Amino acid sequence: MTIRVVVVDGHTLCRLGLAHVVRAHPDIELAGEADSLAEGRLWLESGDPTVVVIARRLPDGDGLTLASALRTVRPDVGIVVMAPRDGDDALFRAMDLRASAFVDEAAPVAELLAAIRHAAVAPLSFTASDLVGALRRRRGGDLLSAREREVLALLTNGLSIAEIARTMHLSHSTAKTYTARLYEKLGATNRAQALMAALRQGLIRPEEMHATDHPKAAMTAR
């Protein structure tokens, strides 16, 4: 699948730089550019992007306004918000508006490309660098409870919800609730996304991931 990307950024050099980055990768196609909220709205009304990369600061307003409007009418489109990372407020605003990803303006190119590809395949699943740390700071404590950490370990080992319930001596519905809470905290909608998010945030180690090669790891949580 070719990812059609629209870039909305008021800074010409930044917009051209993003356009150059996008053109350098065969799986990503630059579908359009806009330099303001107004131009972004006009382009999006007539275009059919897979992912929209929106700068938070635009000449005629806040890019999050465009992100919010787009998400309301196009739940299938990925939205990547770019903004300075001066605290966690912008990240949480992007997450609350159901953006797909938040990227610091100073982040490496590889991080932006990863965010675009994530947004293309999981537009309603949020990701950001240090998301777990930001959530921990918001809650003032550990992100995962002891039970949720146990569920994560069992998911990493490829167990199904029914097997997790038996292993932890829980009812099926309680095990499913713990799993759903874990997914929510990691910004995931399924097992694969949860494990990748946990890996990125250091909640599990790469050497533990070998267990997910087991056929059970491919089972959908029930």
Question: Residue 152: which pLDDT band, with cuts at 50, 70 and 90?
Answer: very high
Name the residue with higher pLDDT: 205 or 34.
Answer: 34
Mean pLDDT of the chain: 86
Task: Give the span between the Cα atoms of 88 and 158, in whole angstroms.
Answer: 33
Task: Give the span between the Cα atoms of 2 and 18, in whole angstroms.
Answer: 17
Task: Give the span between the Cα atoms of 208 and 1, in whole angstroms.
Answer: 30
Task: Give the span between the Cα atoms of 197 and 211, in whole angstroms.
Answer: 16
The pLDDT value recorded for residue 139 is 65
Name the residue with higher pLDDT: 145 or 153.
Answer: 153
Question: Residue 89: which pLDDT band, with cuts at 50, 70 and 90?
Answer: confident
Question: Residue 20: which pLDDT band, with cuts at 50, 70 and 90?
Answer: confident
The stretch 12-21 carries a mean pLDDT of: 85
Sort 219 into a burial class: Cβ within 10 Å, 0-12 / 13-18 / 19+.
middle
Name the residue with higher pLDDT: 78 or 42.
Answer: 78
Q: What is the pLDDT of residues 168-184, one digit of tens each?
A: 999 999 999 999 989 98
Among 131, 130, 8, smallest CA distance to 62 is for 8
The pLDDT value recorded for residue 144 is 81
Give all domains of the chain, ordered by start, each with its CATH number: 3-129 (3.40.50.2300), 136-218 (1.10.10.10)
The pLDDT value recorded for residue 142 is 65
The pLDDT value recorded for residue 216 is 40
Name the residue with higher pLDDT: 139 or 154.
Answer: 154
Q: Is the pLDDT of residue 62 over 80?
A: yes
85, 35 in Cβ contact below 8 A?
A: no
Query: In sequence order, what are the residues at sequence separation of 6 or more whose Cβ sits closer than 8 angstroms to the Cβ of residue 203?
Result: 132, 143, 144, 149, 152
Question: Residue 167: which pLDDT band, with cuts at 50, 70 and 90?
Answer: very high
Q: Is the pLDDT of residue 69 over 60?
A: yes
The pLDDT value recorded for residue 50 is 95
The pLDDT value recorded for residue 53 is 95
For the chain, give the secondary structure using H, E and C: CCEEEEEECCCHHHHHHHHHHHHCCCCEEEEEEECCHHHHHHHHHHCCCCEEEEECEECCEEHHHHHHHHHHHCCCCEEEEEECCCCCHHHHHHHHCCCCEEEECCCCHHHHHHHHHHHHHCCCCCEECCHHHHHHHHHCCCCCCHHHHHHHHHHHCCCCHHHHHHHHCCCHHHHHHHHHHHHHHHCCCCHHHHHHHHHHCCCCCHHHHHHHHCHHHHCCCC
Count how many Cα atoms sit within 13 Å of the Cα of residue 129 in the half-sphere of its side chain.
18
89, 71 in Cβ contact below 8 A?
A: no
In DSSP terms, 103 is beta-bridged to: 82
Task: Give the span between the Cα atoms of 46 and 71, in whole angstroms.
Answer: 16
